[in-house]
Chain A
């Protein structure tokens, strides 16, 4: 930073002052420092190399702390819009503001370079992560056993393909029960998942365990001989939960069914071949098919299917949020095509 009371310039201060006086400015009313603005030599190159991005407090804070990834920080997702201004924005690397100029001292002039002129800038607007794409990608090739390995997506590839931050992705992956196997995320195909779960229930029966006495390590150990260990563990942990009790022999924690998850698995299987099912028939088959210790109930169908009581006999209709159009008005139209009257509770899983 140059000393306050001097300037560095091509033109002498006297010339600058002469022009100021012609413009009827009183020199004694001006701070001692004048600054002459020039276009820099590389201003044209800069105009194409540089972008101005309007950023909110979170982004500014994040970047100032050395964080990376602006359009998708680790926590939030932003949509980007180019905004045009009818004004010219002159960008300067150095420019002294009035509060930084010493009030006393000889008049002087300093040359300043305008690095570029801008007419547009990018606006960042925080938005909901677009997670539908995540579902679409992972549903394209669900895992269905060793004979059909297929491919999944690594976390990095998902981050590239899906408009969401890493944290939002991790949450979405966890909530949708994506399996991580060999570094790639996969969904399990419904019938295959059911097959693996059936191995678990069969093993429970073979050991004559009650529904609250299931042992995790032996189950995983044994069944990993039949299906990949990661899949068995994933399926077990998704559908079973600790009871809080431990075994009398050895103190191993005991597990029981996650009723809701198990019920939903069976519901999905029942609804797979037929989109619409007579409600009475469905309810009966459903309760009959689930293992002992699991009770089915219509609220477990949230996000899987809806009950339509507007027809007689009542039916249950398979409906996943990913079956619906992304666009809000179209999505509402599709929902109301299923049935006219919805409770807020019923609608909730289908609205972002």
Chain B
């Protein structure tokens, strides 16, 4: 079986995307879906240390390079004959899965430390 992944339209290097890694899960306060919801504010100190403020928590992290970069692949649903790629592929074989390589991720911002709650007098209106 061959699972094919290709850059769309013969591009060269895929764009670089970013990754933020958090311990645990982000939960939504309300019952509605996460779409569009605010997560938090990301700052960097002048020394380059990342700081993330999520709700009443502050997280300290670090930027690291991924030992093995990640490819972000998007599954393609269109298996039209026109979409059959070059690469001398015979037309009698429909590949099982085709993916586009959407992006490459080489670094991540890892927040491993336990979130510290922000204790403050929070005014009613933020």
Contacts and interface: CB of A to CB of B under 8 A. Distances in A.
Interface of A: 15-16, 18-20, 22-25, 29-31, 33-44, 49-56, 59-60, 63-72, 80, 85-95, 97-99, 101, 103, 109, 112, 114-115, 117, 121, 154-157, 159-161, 163
B71 A55 contact: yes
Q: For B18, B38, B105, B120, which residue has the most chain A Cβ atoms within 10 angstroms?
A: B18
A88 B25 contact: yes
B33 A44 contact: yes
A69 B45 CA distance: 41
Interface residues of B, number: 74
B70 A41 contact: no
Contacts of A56: 68
B12 A64 contact: yes
B58 A23 contact: yes
Contacts of B118: 22-24
B41 A91 contact: no
B73 A15 contact: no
A64 B90 contact: no
A66 B10 contact: yes
Contacts, number: 228
B73 A50 contact: yes
A15 B126 contact: yes
Chain B at the A interface: SS class? strand
Contacts of A59: 71
Given A39-B35, A66-B10, A69-B4, A60 B72 contact: no
A25 B58 CA distance: 10
A86 B23 contact: yes
Contact of A69 (B2, B49, B72, B73): B2
Nearest to B93: A156
A94 B36 CA distance: 16
Given A31-B44, A71-B3, A92 B18 contact: yes
Contacts of A88: 21-26
Nearest to A72: B2
Contacts of A37: 20, 38-42, 52
B74 A50 contact: yes
CB-based closest 4 A-B pairs: A95-B18, A156-B93, A98-B48, A156-B90
B13 interface: yes
B10 A91 contact: no
A138 to B, nearest CB: 17
Contacts of A18: 126
Given A92-B20, A163-B1, 17 more contacts: A18-B126, A30-B43, A30-B45, A37-B42, A44-B34, A49-B74, A50-B73, A55-B68, A70-B5, A70-B99, A70-B101, A80-B3, A86-B23, A88-B25, A97-B63, A98-B50, A98-B63
B92 A156 contact: yes
Contacts of B126: 15, 18-19
Contact of A34 (B42, B71, B93, B108): B42
Interface core residue of B12, B44, B69 (most chain A CB under 10 Å)? B44
9 contacts: A33-B44, A34-B43, A39-B37, A41-B36, A66-B11, A71-B1, A89-B19, A159-B2, A161-B1
Contact of A91 (B33, B36, B72, B85): B72
